[in-house]
Amino acid sequence: MIGHGLQSVSKGLAVGLAIFHVVAISVIAEATAEPKQTSKNIDPDFVTVGAGGFDVNDNETAGQFEIQGRLNNRLWFFKPHFGMFFTTESGFYGYAGVMTDIFFGGRFVASPSFAVGGSHEGDGKELGGTLEFRSAIELAYRFDDRSRLGIQVGHLSNAGIYAENPGTEFSILNYSIPTNVFSR
């Protein structure tokens, strides 16, 4: 009787593992499949909109809303990007810099970036001066139409060029929309 019960459990476990294996393979295949367009390396320009938190690592956290232009004109493997964000504490930052895309299959993209810009702190966190440097990385999922949904985390700092350099971190949920508005 015990042997029969063990045999049933073993069969159930084997069937469950087989089903899990088939489902896992299909999920992985979908996640790493190429979007329907030609090549993962030929992405369009993007307009990116995002919302999240500014100064998420400290006690002056505020909402952050951002818009970016991401161009596909390449110099080696770097692409230009520019943007601006404002905070719910009347802070503002405008910037321009470079970024790159690192693809994991056809669906997942890591996009590190670096930029320099000017800030106005408004009623929010004082960053030490107007000139600030922005470094960030975004992890995104690419849809069939090449649009992307991603999480971006980053750091804003004056790199010690002013007497005070408190720096801050931000975290944003971004949606990148393919566009041809910059190629006119």
* 13 lies in the same domain as 85: no
Number of domains in the chain: 2
Chain centre distance of CA 32: 18
38 domain-assigned: no
Q: Are strands 62-70 and 79-87 parallel, antiparallel or unpaired?
A: antiparallel
2 domain-assigned: yes
* 86 lies in the same domain as 28: no
39 domain-assigned: no
CA distance readout (Å), 86 to 26, 47, 69, 74, 117: 42, 17, 16, 28, 13
* 169 lies in the same domain as 128: yes
Look at residue 77 in the predicted model and tell me its pLDDT: 84
* 72 lies in the same domain as 97: yes
- What domain range includes position 16? 1-32
123-140 pLDDT tens trace: 988 889 999 999 999 999
What whole-number distance in Å separates Cα of residue 29 and Cα of residue 32? Answer: 5
CA-derived radius of gyration, the chain: 22
Q: Which of 11-20, 27-36, 59-68 has the highest mean pLDDT?
A: 59-68
* 68 lies in the same domain as 123: yes
* 58 lies in the same domain as 136: yes
Residue 77 belongs to domain with CATH number = 2.40.160.20
* 77 lies in the same domain as 146: yes
Contacts (Cβ under 8 Å, ≥6 apart) of 177:
46, 47, 48, 49, 147
Average pLDDT over residues 57-82: 92
* 108 lies in the same domain as 57: yes
119 domain-assigned: yes
Cβ proximity of 131 and 158 under 8 Å: yes
pLDDT at 27 over 50: no
* 85 lies in the same domain as 155: yes
37 domain-assigned: no
* 51 lies in the same domain as 111: yes
| Residue 30: count of CB within 10 angstroms of its CB | 11
* 3 lies in the same domain as 80: no
* 68 lies in the same domain as 104: yes
Instruction: Please report which confidence band the pLDDT of residue 23 belongs to, taking 50, 70 and 90 as the band edges.
Output: very low
CA distance readout (Å), 82 to 76, 96, 114, 145, 163: 18, 4, 10, 22, 27
Beta bridge partners of 168: 156
